[in-house]
A and B are shown apart, each in its own frame.
Chain A
Amino acid sequence: MQNTEDINRRELLIAGAATAAATAFPPTVSAQDSGTAAPVISKVTFEVNGKQQSLALDTRTTLLDALRDHLHLTGTKKGCDHGQCGACTVIAGGRRINSCLTLAVMHEGDRITTIEGLGTPEHMHPMQAAFVKHDGFQCGYCTPGQICSAVAVLDEIKAGVPSHVSADLLTPPKFTNAEFRERMSGNICRCGAYSNIAEAAAEVAGTRA
């Protein structure tokens, strides 16, 4: 018999998630497979982390589920599955998106970067290294989304994309704590590691939080 201490972290997370799902959502949500008609399978080819991938998928498969369940890239996390939490953030065609709110079949020919494609434990992306250095997480569940989002935010500022807190629309935005926080409002961290996340991003941006 399996001792409680022998339950690995993954099994624990799965058990925890199942409990949360049973209590946190109305009955309608758990009926996601209630389609009466047979599933429609469609083929899609896209590049994930530099590798070409061809999949035959139920058209209902989100990009998030394709990454996690079909390509086994489980770094990208499923939080709310409704675009509210940002845990599923990936970079598609150079832009951060919620992978839960887009269908995999809509990404024919696209180039997708997930947390696994940014860096490896041996060769971390500067943002990954900064998150480690500044303790930009506690439980870690939102972290892949936070890092993908933060990397894209720095690119958006460089490209001159304004934000809600930019004082002047005609002056190129700069990395500031207020700019970063506004731009990261689509990534929720329930542990509340925000100030450390902001410090990590500030270091990569070359400024102080």
Chain B
Amino acid sequence: MKTFSYERAKTPAEAAAAAARINGARFIAGGTNLLDLMKLEIETPVHLIDVNGLALDKIEVMPDGGLRVGALVRNTDLAADERVRREYPLLSRALLAGASGQLRNKATTAGNLLQRTRCAYFYDTNMACNKRSPGSGCSAMGGVSRQHAVIGGSDACIATHPSDMAVAMRALDATVETVRPNGSTRQIPIAKFHRLPGDSPHIETSLQSGELITSVTLPKPVGGTQLYYKVRDRASYAFALVSVALIQQKDGSGRVALGGVAHKPWRVESAERALPRGSKATADAVLAGAKPTHDNEFKVKLVERTLAAVLAHAKEMRS
């Protein structure tokens, strides 16, 4: 691991200002992904700003009936929160499908959104990777790409975003709240938070330099039947091959977001009109234009089948 200096931030604005002032500084909260990458020298911050002391660990009901989740709320606490279990079960289910008990105890809401891809070529510093080393090429293309994206990729990158929580938040239309180094705040709809790789896969979010996530807000509960199905190589503690988040109302209308298929949580609002017509029609619409590799073309069929299972389960719950 490279050497780095360390400070404990006192306020969000101070943390953001410090990050903008020091070139190569990074925030650290749970640290479960950042330290993993620092040990491999994929991340080499010269300065760490510990944000754990900031009072951003509350879950509050907002005047409009929605929920404000502090950036530092641990994954365990968010999944176990009574209001989340009751009103946003999709979010609880997605969180509980991710990582291990130990990691969920440390991992934070903001950190979960900011975790980096698990692409094996990104992790192997001997291999070319445009995300780790811009311009070096992509070893996943022509390599082993079973885990990789089937849609939204580019010639530069076919990595997937590994988060389960973010897929649920995309279906729930969450908003990311931030503070910038000059002290101003802004709200970023989750749909615009994560980026597709394009020709700059190393830029993964719409955050600016030094910008710090302070909370994530959820609109007032939308009800319906909420399910999160995650298909993976083992029953627990593995990243998704594909995952399906479903919110479905009594009339059959609803929302669908997918994990494991793209560089960001994948949702196509216009495709949701196909939901009453079933899994094949919906999967075809959500994954229209998919470009799978030889290794991961199974994911296209797997999305349809997982969607079929989820819709059958939802129907059973409504009856």
Contacts and interface: CB of A to CB of B under 8 A. Distances in A.
Interface of A: 26-29, 31-40, 42, 58-60, 62, 81-83, 86, 89, 95-98, 101-103, 105-106, 108, 149, 152-153, 156, 159-164, 166, 169-170, 181-187
A184 B48 CA distance: 31
Chain B interface, DSSP helix/strand/loop, else mixed: mixed
A95 B3 contact: no
Contacts of A28: 40-41, 125-126
B288 to A, nearest CB: 31
Which of A29, A33, A98, A159 has the most C-beta atoms of chain B within 10 angstroms of its own C-beta? A98
A164 B96 contact: yes
Given A26-B125, A98-B103, 15 more contacts: A27-B126, A32-B39, A35-B1, A35-B3, A37-B3, A59-B3, A82-B36, A86-B102, A102-B106, A169-B93, A181-B236, A182-B235, A186-B100, A186-B237, A187-B100
Nearest to B33: A101
Given A28-B126, A162-B85, A97 B105 contact: yes
Contact of A149 (B39, B102, B237): B102
12 contacts: A28-B41, A31-B41, A35-B1, A40-B3, A59-B5, A83-B100, A95-B76, A96-B102, A98-B103, A106-B28, A161-B79, A163-B96
A54 to B, nearest CB: 16
A186 B107 CA distance: 14
Interface string B121-155: 00011100000000000000000000000000000
Contact of A35 (B2, B35, B50, B85): B2
Interface of B: 1-6, 8, 28, 31-32, 35-36, 39-41, 46, 48, 50, 52, 76, 79-80, 85-86, 89, 92-93, 96-97, 99-103, 105-106, 124-126, 235-237
A72 B1 CA distance: 22
Contacts, number: 132
B28 to A, nearest CB: 7
Contacts of A98: 32, 102-103, 106
A103 B31 contact: yes
A177 to B, nearest CB: 13
B106 A97 contact: yes
Given A96-B102, A102-B106, A182 B31 contact: no
A81 B41 contact: no
A26 B126 contact: yes
Nearest to B53: A108
Q: Which 7 A-B pairs have the closest CB atoms?
A: A186-B100, A185-B236, A35-B3, A185-B237, A169-B85, A35-B2, A95-B105
A26 B36 contact: no
Nearest to A181: B236
Contact of A34 (B41, B48, B237): B41
Nearest to A88: B102
Nearest to A99: B102
Contacts of B40: 28-29
B4 A101 contact: no
Contacts of A101: 31-32, 35-36, 103, 106
